[in-house]
Structure 1
Amino acid sequence: MARLRVWDLPTRLLHWLLVIAVVGLIVTGNLGGAWMTSHFRLGYAVLALLLFRLAWGFVGGYWSRFSRFIYSPLTLLRYLRGQSMPEHELGHSPTAALSVFALLLVLSLQVVSGLLSDDEIAFTGPLSRFAPSEWVPLATAYHAEWGKLVLIGLVVLHLLAIGYYKWIRKTSLVAAMITGDKTTDLLQPASRDGLAQRVLALLLAIGCVAIAAFVASL
């Protein structure tokens, strides 16, 4: 048995920053009023984080790349039947991959719909004036109602999955996302997590923040 670096530092930081931002979005969105200023800022933060995750999915650590957890329907079916491969437990398993992509999709829809929203009182998304007039009320309704409920539902499912792995499978997903390492006897590549990767991540992060700031300035 040996320790294998699975989650590189940029991936771990992204994960925990996204957790904080999403919780903050849900809380500030429900409080409303003066809290909406913080809600907007957190929304731009999530936009930057999503852009970073998209880029990091192609150039990040071995186990963080999309190519490592895009599975065929047949692989998913076999996994659900209990015919999993050992390496599935190192990175994202087929079901965990579905959860990741679902969260990324729903968060993206929530951010985009927020940018297109207009409550016709005090808060207007920066992209609402560029969208067709019939899109704005639909985006507003989705963002404030259906989208929020779907996002909360996925977050709850994510927490239940963490609890299942912790208490039933006796595997701590949280610990691995803190340390970056998993103990295994498999001969699998480790994620690169040196200075070069971290400098690259910093440059990408700066670019993503700049894009989010530009959107906010529109």
Structure 2
Amino acid sequence: MKVIQLWDKAIRFYHWSQLLLLAGLWFTADQGYLVVHQVLAYSLAAILLSRLIWGFVGSETARFSHFLQSPLELVRMWNKAKHGIGHRGLSGYMSLALMTLILLQFISGLMTTDDVMTEGPLYGSVSSDWSSFASWFHHNNFDLLLILIAVHVVAALFHGLKKDGVLGAMLHGKLNAEAQQPAIKSSRWYLLLVLVFAGFFALWQGLSLYQQW
């Protein structure tokens, strides 16, 4: 056994920021703080879009090619009870599902309205039928997200009980494992992507949000 760097800072930043932002989005929607809700939504979109790009150009364990296997490979891994390091096996598909649903949640939110004061920036660009569907999806998809997050938390607690180091690795990035050190890239490039997307959203909707404040 040796200590390896499993997760880079970008992955850990995305993971915990995503959790906090989702909690904030739920609270602000529930309380009707819709301007803050939109600011948090753009923040989550910035780190998510950056994470999707990082899934192609980032560290080895961050790449989709590392943790997404074919159904046949999943069966082979399950039979051998050897999942490798990182988001392997079903956990890889869970990560992809969460990212996909969050992206769809953001896109649908751009086309919704509360019928009182707030409209998404794309609300006027789509038909009323499409906006109604987007509103329905935005509401119900979040319930699905909560279910998947609950499953994810249970799985994380299970790893914590097993004391296999997987849960701790998402905090400090390191893991005791019989594996070669995966290639880790500097997370400053991920943070640069976050700033680029955040800047784009600020230029696009910053003035509108300020006027609504």
Common fold by TM > 0.5: yes
Query: 1:140 is paired with a residue of what secondary structure?
Result: helix
Distance, in Å, in 1 between the alignment partners of 2:204 and 2:102 is: 17
Aligned partner of 1:21 in structure 2 is 21
Aligned partner of 1:12 in structure 2 is 12
For 1:113, give the aligned amino acid: S
- CA deviations on 1:11-56 (whole Å, 9 max, x unpaired) are 1111111111011111221222xx2221111111111011110111
Q: Report if the CA contact (8 A) 2:166-2:175 is conserved.
A: no
CA RMSD of aligned residues (A): 1.7
- 1:191 lines up with 2:186 in the alignment: no
Distance, in Å, in 1 between the alignment partners of 2:112 and 2:131 is: 6
Cα drift, residue 58 of structure 1: 1.2
Aligned partner of 2:211 in structure 1 is none
Cα drift, residue 98 of structure 1: 1.1
- 1:206 lines up with 2:195 in the alignment: yes
Listed as ranges, the matches of 1:27-106 within 5 Å are 27-32=27-32, 35-80=33-78, 82-85=79-82, 88-106=83-101
For 1:177, give the aligned amino acid: M
Distance, in Å, in 1 between the alignment partners of 2:77 and 2:29 is: 38
Distance, in Å, in 1 between the alignment partners of 2:58 and 2:26 is: 29
For 2:80, give the aligned amino acid: Q
Q: Which runs of 5+ in 1 are unaligned?
A: none
Q: How many residues align?
A: 207
Distance, in Å, in 1 between the alignment partners of 2:104 and 2:46 is: 14
Distance, in Å, in 1 between the alignment partners of 2:111 and 2:165 is: 39
Q: Report if the CA contact (8 A) 1:48-1:209 is conserved.
A: yes
Distance, in Å, in 1 between the alignment partners of 2:143 and 2:43 is: 20
Aligned partner of 1:142 in structure 2 is 137
Q: Report if the CA contact (8 A) 2:165-2:176 is conserved.
A: no
Query: 1:182 is paired with a residue of what secondary structure?
Result: strand
Cα drift, residue 73 of structure 1: 0.7
**Which is further off, 14-23 or 171-180?**
171-180
Distance, in Å, in 2 between the alignment partners of 1:185 and 1:172 is: 13
Q: Structure 1 residues 216 and 83, CA, compared in 2 at 3 Å: closer, same or farther? A: farther
Cα drift, residue 180 of structure 1: 0.7
For 1:99, give the aligned amino acid: M
Q: Report if the CA contact (8 A) 2:12-2:171 is conserved.
A: yes
For 2:115, give the aligned amino acid: E
Cα drift, residue 214 of structure 1: 4.0
Q: Runs (4+) of structure 1 moved beyond 6 Å?
A: none
Q: Report if the CA contact (8 A) 1:90-1:182 is conserved.
A: no
- CA deviations on 1:58-102 (whole Å, 9 max, x unpaired) are 11111101110120010122334x3243xx341112110111011
- 1:171 lines up with 2:164 in the alignment: yes
Distance, in Å, in 1 between the alignment partners of 2:167 and 2:88 is: 15
For 1:181, give the aligned amino acid: K
Cα drift, residue 123 of structure 1: 1.4
Distance, in Å, in 1 between the alignment partners of 2:135 and 2:204 is: 18
